[in-house]
Structure 1
């Protein structure tokens, strides 16, 4: 599979194993394009979380090639990884909020790391908390929030910096259907601004909620391509050209 200027991520024959066990991902090849919306599906144990770990640079593959933003990230020097990670927004299944920080400060964290002043970050952080329905919980620490509220803080933190790519692992798993749809609309809005979105989910009903989305399906560590998403850049109507 050949890369190009329009690739944001490229996997070529990637395999992943943990220790001496058998491969959890085998011969995975695909290309993600800027501004596209992908659902990653598959049964429990299919390898979705492992694939996401490769996408947000928490794991190196056992074999194969991964390029991101035009750079081979497998051979990338460690001191360059933080700059790459700042271009990514990640929503973890276990939230990974900073426990001693308030909801406001958790959401503000990516902007502070990027050097945004307190004056300039106050409004966007407050607006984002309002959008996810947590304006009245801005001062609350994670331990006092419900699972669904923590999930919404984690999502707000992931999207506040308008990353080049958003990777979300079961982002609607701890919220009710109404909030799940609202969060999905937030991802769509971010996508329309140019962010490539990858949402891993076992909820097949969500796949119908984003008409222009493309589907990547994992089965026992191998990737199938039911919509042609992995071979061709999508056009604006979601069809392949």
Structure 2
């Protein structure tokens, strides 16, 4: 991997309010570098989900500047947003699976949207089903899956296209500890391939599972010590084991 890592996301004094209420995010400034692994933590109500919505372009800020992939996305025309969103994978808290599609077809959806031929997508989808422990549930519809199984389908769908940025909102909230660790290893593997990963979690145990990660801490809509917590450190030298 190249030793040069460019910035892929920049927030500059971003604020967000819904309607006329007070800001839920205030003066948010940070830079995400390509190929790095970030955790976003904070108490319930700190603003984690709102910040993620800004990251995956589901919400425009009330003020401030956001640049992604070298472009000011706040002024980006709405018809250009889908192309940017396709460069990202998103794991939502509420999964957002397509009810009438099987687990296989939900996972295959990003590849089909991007034009991958049916003959070329079967192998990757089957491999992903195997990885998340759902090889025997490929034909199951979401309504017949448990919450943890739906979560794993949603994660597989988000990562199958090897997005440039992966945004995950509490991705291990509905799975047991063993599966949570396996999913974090999947995120790490994707990260080693060059994807920038942002995982929002209240589970502080997860932070110790990825020792080379950077931590963003939100409290009452503000980043705590953004210059210190998000200082850009060099990666550790030496051969990284898996």
Is TM > 0.5 for Structure 1 vs Structure 2? Answer: yes
Question: Are 1:214 and 1:227, in contact at CA under 8 Å, matched by a contact in 2?
Answer: no
- TM-score, structure 1 normalization: 0.94
CA distance in structure 2 between the partners assigned to 1:217 and 1:227 by the alignment: 11
**Distance change >3 Å, CA 193–CA 213, structure 1 → 2:** same
**Distance change >3 Å, CA 119–CA 225, structure 1 → 2:** farther
Spell out, residue by residue over 1:151-170, the C-alpha distance to the aligned partner (whole angstroms, 9 max, x if none). Answer: 00000000000000000000
In the other structure, the counterpart of 1:154 is: 154
The answer to whether residue 136 in structure 2 is matched with residue 136 in structure 1 is yes
In the other structure, the counterpart of 1:103 is: 103
* 1:78, distance to aligned residue in structure 2 (A): 1.0
In the other structure, the counterpart of 2:240 is: none
CA distance in structure 1 between the partners assigned to 2:63 and 2:55 by the alignment: 15
Query: 1:202-213 to 2 correspondence within 5 Å?
Result: 202-213=202-213
Task: Judge which range, 217-226 or 32-41, deviates more.
Answer: 217-226
**Distance change >3 Å, CA 225–CA 214, structure 1 → 2:** farther
Structure 2 unaligned segments of length 5 or more: list them.
238-242
In the other structure, the counterpart of 1:198 is: 198
Question: Are 1:13 and 1:64, in contact at CA under 8 Å, matched by a contact in 2?
Answer: yes
Task: Judge which range, 84-93 or 217-226, deviates more.
Answer: 217-226
Question: Are 2:30 and 2:226, in contact at CA under 8 Å, matched by a contact in 1?
Answer: no
* 1:142, distance to aligned residue in structure 2 (A): 0.1
Query: 1:1-241 to 2 correspondence within 5 Å?
Result: 6-225=6-225, 228-232=228-232, 234-237=233-236
Question: Are 1:31 and 1:231, in contact at CA under 8 Å, matched by a contact in 2?
Answer: no
* 1:6, distance to aligned residue in structure 2 (A): 1.2
CA distance in structure 2 between the partners assigned to 1:223 and 1:115 by the alignment: 39
CA distance in structure 1 between the partners assigned to 2:13 and 2:236 by the alignment: 29
* 1:230, distance to aligned residue in structure 2 (A): 2.5
> The residue matched to 2:7 in structure 1 has which SS?
coil
> The residue matched to 2:228 in structure 1 has which SS?
coil
Spell out, residue by residue over 1:129-164, the C-alpha distance to the aligned partner (whole angstroms, 9 max, x if none). Answer: 000000000000000000000000000000000000
Task: Judge which range, 180-189 or 222-231, deviates more.
Answer: 222-231
- Count of matched residue pairs: 233
Question: Are 2:29 and 2:226, in contact at CA under 8 Å, matched by a contact in 1?
Answer: no
- TM-score, structure 2 normalization: 0.94
Question: Are 1:215 and 1:227, in contact at CA under 8 Å, matched by a contact in 2?
Answer: no
Question: Are 1:9 and 1:68, in contact at CA under 8 Å, matched by a contact in 2?
Answer: yes
CA distance in structure 2 between the partners assigned to 1:68 and 1:41 by the alignment: 22
Question: Are 1:30 and 1:231, in contact at CA under 8 Å, matched by a contact in 2?
Answer: no
Question: Are 2:91 and 2:155, in contact at CA under 8 Å, matched by a contact in 1?
Answer: yes
* 1:187, distance to aligned residue in structure 2 (A): 0.2
CA distance in structure 2 between the partners assigned to 1:79 and 1:173 by the alignment: 33
* 1:231, distance to aligned residue in structure 2 (A): 3.6
**Distance change >3 Å, CA 66–CA 226, structure 1 → 2:** closer
Moved over 4 A (4+): none
> The residue matched to 1:53 in structure 2 has which SS?
helix
* 1:193, distance to aligned residue in structure 2 (A): 0.2
